[in-house]
């Protein structure tokens, strides 16, 4: 496992986008695992710029989002479909039939689909302040596959700002820890002081269900890409 600390979230966004760009250049038929959340916003903005500047051909790229709210209409502004389309997909020349989300089919079929596509070449992940990755909440098993999950109380609380009508989704469909660990390369990205405590705990912990992100230590090619705020307690 490697840790790279950069000055601020702009530097992190540039680095993450350039790593993704290199992956696409090296393997134009790459399968990418993609996360959502505030952390990823500057990264997708930067990635759009790079892809469009270099006029990259994305016709063979497949994307597999790591999670989506269960039963939330995909047209809802808080859905991860909406987020991804708005921030990335509509700005690049990706083939819409190569874009996949876990809730559009039976959860167990998502892992089969990923396997059939040849596995995830590179997955980018954020981290929740309780240590969740995708929507694998504390208590999840290292052997978990893609499935419907109940959101932790703390996650619902952090998400409540996005659902002022009070209709906060209680469940999500998330790739499992097993799905994540099968990826060839993984980058966990954390920025801001809000993530400092959980990053410090994750880096100190042994892999355990208490902090799902700690399971990433079981993988050989993981990079923790942090800004100095997120790294301030390590």
Question: Are 140 and 149 in contact, with CB atoms under 8 Å apart?
Answer: yes
Alpha carbons 3 and 170: distance in angstroms, whole number: 33
Q: Does 67 bind ligand GLP (CB under 6 A)?
A: yes
Q: Which segment (7-15, 33-41, 44-52, 53-61) binds ligand GLP by CB under 6 A?
A: 33-41
E strands, the chain, are 2-6, 31-34, 62-65, 67-69, 99-100, 122-125, 147-150, 171-174, 185-190, 222-227
> Smallest gap, in angstroms, from Cβ of residue 155 to ligand GLP?
6
What string of DSSP letters covers 29-46?
T-EEEE--SGGGHHHHHH
Q: How far are the Cα atoms of 16, 100, 210, 218, 226 from residue 214, in angstroms, in the given order?
A: 21, 26, 8, 8, 15
Alpha carbons 229 and 234: distance in angstroms, whole number: 10
Give the one residue of 9, 23, 30, 39 binding ligand GLP; rule: CB under 6 A.
Answer: 39
With CB atoms as reference, the residue minimizing the distance to ligand GLP is: 126
> Smallest gap, in angstroms, from Cβ of residue 204 to ligand GLP?
20
Q: 25 or 162: whose CB is closer to ligand GLP?
A: 162
Structure tokens at 218: 């079981």
Q: Catalytic residue among 111, 132, 136, 229, which?
A: 132
Q: Does 135 bind ligand GLP (CB under 6 A)?
A: yes
> Smallest gap, in angstroms, from Cβ of residue 90 to ligand GLP?
20
Total site size for ligand GLP, rule CB under 6 A? 14
Q: Kindly list the catalytic residues.
A: 67, 130, 132, 137
Residues contributing to the site for ligand GLP (CB under 6 A): 35-39, 66-67, 125-128, 134-135, 155
């Amino acid at each position: 496992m490697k840790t790279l600390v950069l000055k601020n979230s702009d530097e992190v966004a540039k680095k993450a986008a350039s790593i993704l760009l290199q992956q696409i250049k090296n393997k134009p038929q790459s399968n990418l695992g993609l996360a959502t959340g505030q952390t990823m916003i500057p990264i997708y903005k930067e990635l759009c710029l790079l892809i469009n500047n270099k006029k990259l051909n994305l016709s063979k790229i497949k994307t597999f989002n790591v999670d989506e709210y269960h039963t939330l209409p995909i047209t809802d502004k808080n859905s991860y479909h909406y987020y991804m389309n708005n921030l990335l997909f509509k700005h690049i020349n990706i083939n819409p039939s190569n874009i996949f989300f876990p809730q559009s089919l039976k959860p167990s079929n998502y892992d089969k689909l990923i396997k059939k596509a040849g596995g995830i070449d590179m997955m980018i992940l954020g981290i929740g302040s309780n240590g969740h990755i995708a929507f694998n909440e504390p208590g999840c098993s290292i052997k978990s596959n893609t499935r419907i999950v109940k959101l932790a109380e703390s996650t619902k609380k952090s998400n409540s700002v996005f659902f002022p009508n009070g209709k906060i989704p209680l469940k999500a469909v998330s790739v499992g820890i097993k799905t994540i660990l099968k990826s060839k390369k993984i980058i966990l990205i954390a920025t801001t002081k809000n993530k400092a405590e959980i990053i410090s705990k994750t880096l100190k912990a042994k892999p355990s269900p208490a902090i799902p992100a700690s399971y990433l230590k079981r993988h050989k090619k993981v990079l923790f890409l942090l800004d100095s705020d997120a790294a301030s307690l390590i």
